[in-house]
Structure 1
Amino acid sequence: MKRFSKYLVVALLSVAVIYFAFFYRIPDLYITKPGPVADAMEMVSVADSSPKSDSEILVTTVKRKQGTVFTLIKALIHPYQNFSKETQNYETVRQDSRDVQQAFMANSKQTAVTEAFRLAEKEKELEFIGIRIMNINRDVQALESLRINDVILSINGEKVSPNALAKLPQKLRAAQTELVVAREGKKQELSIPQVVRNGYLLNGVLAVTTNEPIRINSKGFGGPSAGAMLTLSIYQQITGQDLLNGRTVAGTGTIEANGSVGLVGGIPQKVYAAHHSQADIFFVPYLGNEEGTFSTNYFEARKVAADIQTEMKVVPVGDMTDIIEYLKVHA
């Protein structure tokens, strides 16, 4: 009986150790590591476009997850995993955090479409539909019914114009304001009580659509860093060009309204993921000088590429024209 009790205690202790090591989430500890890659040619569907070739445009990502003892040990050993301590009031910010990620991804998709159509000289096919809310001052109680990623379609019964966002704070302070917004694919009517507080209230971006059916499946990825590769995929499909010529292209970078490719985070993890996906080219935002005297995406990517001894070409770019011209010249 004593022997059985000893085995039972050992078994229970073993289960406790395994649970603590592999399943217990350490409070405020987060692990960042190379995330999955996705083919932007599969993420984007344009009506009447040419069939997909064997080429790929890879969107690289970073995975971030609350850490355990086991994943912490892995992060300490792996050169392209790291950890950080972050303390937040998650009950307060959880919904806004999800909405922010969705808003950034939605705006990234929209900007990718807009820039691709501009490069293809098809801007006239774009139609303004409303204003996407990107940030809200949550200290203003009157705005509690409004959510980040809402698209404002009308204000006090009038369809919004491109300059309506600049006038909205004045309307909100003047009287109760009636809004119609698009939220998660459905229209909703919101009554915003008069705002009596001065200062910052909210900001947003223009939302547009196109008559040419374009579907973008983000495959669960959030944030704006897929913008440049999505733009490349849309551009190639709406123009019918084959810029890839059998190559696997990867990259990262936001796409801005002026066509520039903006800086992003997680460069080491993204270069590592692209290398292991056998990419031929990795496009990365460039900012800085040739000496690399301050940290930039390009110089960080070039260092990682040298460390892992990849044959993948790391190409610095400032805007979408750089990407398109590089693929044409180096076909």
Structure 2
Amino acid sequence: MNTKDQHWIRRYRSALLIGFLFIVLVIAYIMPLPYMLYGPGSAEPVHPRVETGHKLNEKGALLFTTVSTYSKPNIFFIIYARLNPRMEVKSQEEATGGATNLSGYRNLLAWMRDSSEANALLAAYNVINKPIDVEEQGVIVYSLLPESKAQENGLQEGDIITQVDGKETKTAKVLSEYLSKKEPGDKVIVSGTRGDKPFKATIPLITLSSSNPAIASRTGIGFQNETVLKVTPPDPVKFDFSDTGGPSAGLMMTLEIVAQLTNDDLTRGYRIAGTGTITADGTVGQIGGINYKLMAADKKKADYFLVPYDKNSLANWNLAEKTVKELKLSPKLVKVSTLKEALDFLKGLEPKKEL
């Protein structure tokens, strides 16, 4: 390098350094990283999102709660979340449970929401003893087993299988019985829907390994599954949860349906927040992110918060108690293991006195 070049570099050294740093910052800003951020979401009334054809004037509100998530953030958002005591950072693999890709994971969350709506209808109509029609429509790929060869051959989480080798397959039982007659190494053609599009994949079968004697040594594809149900109620029920995902609004959906169909304001004038999955028999299940949902409920001045309670797994209850204590949140925590327990609590509340 000659003297002239050295002089030029010294003269513009500051400008070059600023330019270099600017380029680095721009790259850091636009470069997505394989992480997901979690924080407090919303606490919204269920009432406007559930229609049953039955009018009900609620003096209070049943609030469903959500977690705010942000996928593929840049480094600046990650740093902010790391420093924020009310946020959390997880790797994409940890957040999605190792799902094949984000598209499949989102399809799975959408099905969870739809399944939650179906189970909410079943639980609500069962508890008020009204008949309801159920139709089996396919088999959801819930998660792929590590030994499965399905992923590299085109199957992913969230896929709904409706046919195998051209034969209609509407239930997990029918699919399992068909595959069990095959040999490991045989290939089957599965088809169905992936989100709102059709899919088809040719999958080699394996010998399933499981601690369950009924499953171990059986031939199969290698995925956890569940039958997809279409539930048709006798009332004109409509849901509006297309902007959400996952099954955790199930309990609050069910309570709103019961309230409208029985013309009983279960709020008793209070703001009742809560979360929890729901099954057809009314069992309330554990969920994730209850700490963030409590923060959202506190911001919306909820009086009570219904917490999924399982004596065999106190994860939700323990985290809820810890969050309320550490952050000094105002909602009173209520243990609920079943829909009946939630209904008994709400019906037992003294109507809130108007100030």
Interval of TM-score (by shorter of Structure 1 and Structure 2): 0.7 to 0.9
Structure 1 contact 103–149 (Cα < 8 Å) conserved: no
Does residue 125 in structure 1 map to residue 132 in structure 2? yes
Structure 1 contact 156–177 (Cα < 8 Å) conserved: no
| CA distance in structure 1 between the aligned counterparts of 2:88 and 2:199, rounded to whole angstroms | 44
Aligned to 2:47: 41
Does residue 111 in structure 1 map to residue 111 in structure 2? no
Structure 1 contact 173–194 (Cα < 8 Å) conserved: no
SS at match of 1:61: strand
Aligned to 1:94: 102
| CA distance in structure 2 between the aligned counterparts of 1:189 and 1:83, rounded to whole angstroms | 33
| CA distance in structure 2 between the aligned counterparts of 1:306 and 1:42, rounded to whole angstroms | 32
> Structure 2 vs 1, CA of residues 95 and 159 (structure 1 numbering), >3 Å: closer, same or farther?
closer
Q: Unaligned regions of 5+ residues in structure 2, if any?
A: 1-8, 209-219
- Alignment RMSD, CA only? 4.0
Structure 2 contact 158–195 (Cα < 8 Å) conserved: no
Shift of 1:234: 1.9
| CA distance in structure 1 between the aligned counterparts of 2:325 and 2:30, rounded to whole angstroms | 35
Paired residues for 1:61-210 under 5 Å? 61-65=66-70, 66-86=72-92, 92-122=100-130, 124-135=131-142, 139-140=149-150, 144=154, 148-150=158-160, 152=162, 160=170, 163-170=173-180, 181=192, 196-199=205-208, 200-201=220-221, 202=223, 203-210=225-232
| CA distance in structure 1 between the aligned counterparts of 2:20 and 2:64, rounded to whole angstroms | 44
Does residue 233 in structure 1 map to residue 279 in structure 2? no
Shift of 1:93: 2.5
| CA distance in structure 1 between the aligned counterparts of 2:256 and 2:153, rounded to whole angstroms | 37
Structure 2 contact 99–105 (Cα < 8 Å) conserved: no
1:28 aligned residue (30, 34, 37): 34
Q: Number of residues paired by the alignment?
A: 322
Structure 1 contact 288–296 (Cα < 8 Å) conserved: no
Structure 1 contact 101–223 (Cα < 8 Å) conserved: yes
Q: TM-score, normalised by structure 1?
A: 0.78
Aligned to 1:271: 294
Shift of 1:276: 0.6
Q: Which segment is superposed worse, 312-321 or 300-309?
A: 300-309
Does residue 301 in structure 1 map to residue 306 in structure 2? no
Shift of 1:301: 0.8
The one-character-per-residue Cα deviations of 1:90-114 (angstroms, maximum 9, x if unpaired) are 9952332222212222211211111
Shift of 1:299: 2.0
| CA distance in structure 1 between the aligned counterparts of 2:172 and 2:188, rounded to whole angstroms | 18
Shift of 1:205: 2.1
Q: Percent identity?
A: 23
| CA distance in structure 2 between the aligned counterparts of 1:91 and 1:308, rounded to whole angstroms | 33
SS at match of 1:49: coil
Larger radius of gyration: 2
Structure 2 contact 273–305 (Cα < 8 Å) conserved: yes
Shift of 1:216: 1.7
Aligned to 1:57: 62
The one-character-per-residue Cα deviations of 1:277-311 (angstroms, maximum 9, x if unpaired) are 1111111111349xxxx852112112211222232
Q: Which segment is superposed worse, 311-320 or 77-86?
A: 77-86
| CA distance in structure 1 between the aligned counterparts of 2:80 and 2:175, rounded to whole angstroms | 47
